Amino acid sequence: MKAHTRETQATMTPEKSLHYLKEGNIRFQNNLKANRNLLEQVNDTSDGQFPFATILSCIDSRVSAELVFDQGLGDIFSVRIAGNFVNQDILGSMEFACKLAGTKLIVVLGHTSCGAVKGACDDAKLGNLTGMLAKIKPAVKAVTEPQDKNLRNSSNLDFVDHVSEKNVQLTIERIIEESDVLADMQNNGEIMIVGAMYDINTGAVTFYE
């Protein structure tokens, strides 16, 4: 499989881009890989890059977007931060990726048993981590069940995963609310913004379209 070129990127649509990622995740789940020569892709992309998707994911070592979607060099922009939330710098990076570099799809990818979400659920405090986790706490508050405080912590993995899903949803809402550039592109059908969850037990990605 060759690296994307300006011509192949131009043929991509938001829907086609999403289909590519779904196919890649199926290959990953079945321990298959597309036939690609990464060193050849190094050479092919030395004069430019033409990715088709931008993926915001957690820094978790088990959730590498390139691997779980079986993508090669030059295929996706990968933005990683603990808890897969957005701030002004990340929004600016996404605007560059879509408006200037031509990606057709933004995926906000959460995952099960997320350590950052667990920290937010437990109200953990540690240096700069305290401020970072505060950005995830709106998702904790938005998940109203269970109401028993003894069950609203990291020991309840169902609660943690529900918070992770809500965090993905709220992150997408923030992207649309805080980036006129990306909101306009989505309204015009130039890009699609979708959420997804990666299951660390199975390797499967569930998309929320």
pTM of the full structure = 0.95
Domains of the chain, earliest start first: 6-208 (3.40.1050.10)
Residues contributing to the annotated binding site for Zn(2+): 58, 60, 111, 114
Q: For residue range 131-145, list pLDDT tens digits in order.
A: 999 999 999 999 999
Work out the mean pLDDT of the chain and round it to a whole number: 95
Q: Where are the beta strands (DSSP E) in the chain?
A: 53-57, 76-80, 105-111, 192-198, 205-208
Q: What is the pLDDT of residue 1?
A: 80
Q: For residue range 36-61, list pLDDT tens digits in order.
A: 888 888 888 888 899 999 999 999 99
CB count within 10 Å of CB 140 equals: 21
- Residues 208 and 123: their CA atoms lie apart, in Å, by 28
Instruction: Write the CA distances from 58 to 124, 148, 188, integer angstroms.
Output: 18, 28, 28
Q: What is the pLDDT of residue 8?
A: 87
Angle between helices 88-95 and 157-178 (to 10 degrees): 60
- Residues 5 and 124: their CA atoms lie apart, in Å, by 45
Residues contributing to the annotated binding site: 58, 60, 111, 114
pLDDT in tens, the chain (209 residues): 888 888 888 899 999 999 999 999 999 999 999 888 888 888 888 888 999 999 999 999 999 999 999 999 999 999 999 999 999 999 999 999 999 999 999 999 999 999 999 999 999 999 999 999 999 999 999 999 999 999 999 999 999 999 999 999 999 999 999 999 999 999 999 999 999 999 999 999 999 98
Query: What is the DSSP annotation of 133-156?
Result: HHTTHHHHHH------GGGSSTT-
Q: What is the pLDDT of residue 48?
A: 87
Question: Looking at this protein, which amino acid is placed at residue 83?
Answer: G
CA neighbor of 36 nearest in space, from 7, 61, 67: 67
Mode of pairing for the β-strands spanning 76-80 and 205-208: unpaired
